[in-house]
Amino acid sequence: MINCSQQAYSNYELGVHEIPIDLLIALAELYKTNTDYLLGLTDNKTYYKKL
């Protein structure tokens, strides 16, 4: 769904590599939340639909 291997995703979760912006956006869309929430910058889970 996000066009990323399990190993690459694991490396992003572990902080081995920084997550690319396009993948971060894809995750936000997949989980129906916003990128700030995924990055831990807010507790607000509001989903902003892509226009």
Q: How confident is the model at residue 2 (pLDDT cuts 50, 70, 90)?
A: confident
What is the residue extent of each domain of the chain?
1-51
How far is 26 from 31, CA to CA, in rounded Å? Answer: 9
How far is 51 from 49, CA to CA, in rounded Å? Answer: 6
How far is 48 from 5, CA to CA, in rounded Å? Answer: 26
Q: How confident is the model at residue 4 (pLDDT cuts 50, 70, 90)?
A: confident
pLDDT score recorded for residue 7: 95
Mean pLDDT of the chain: 91
28-42, pLDDT tens digit by residue?
999 999 999 999 999
pLDDT score recorded for residue 31: 94
| Strand segments (E) across the chain | none
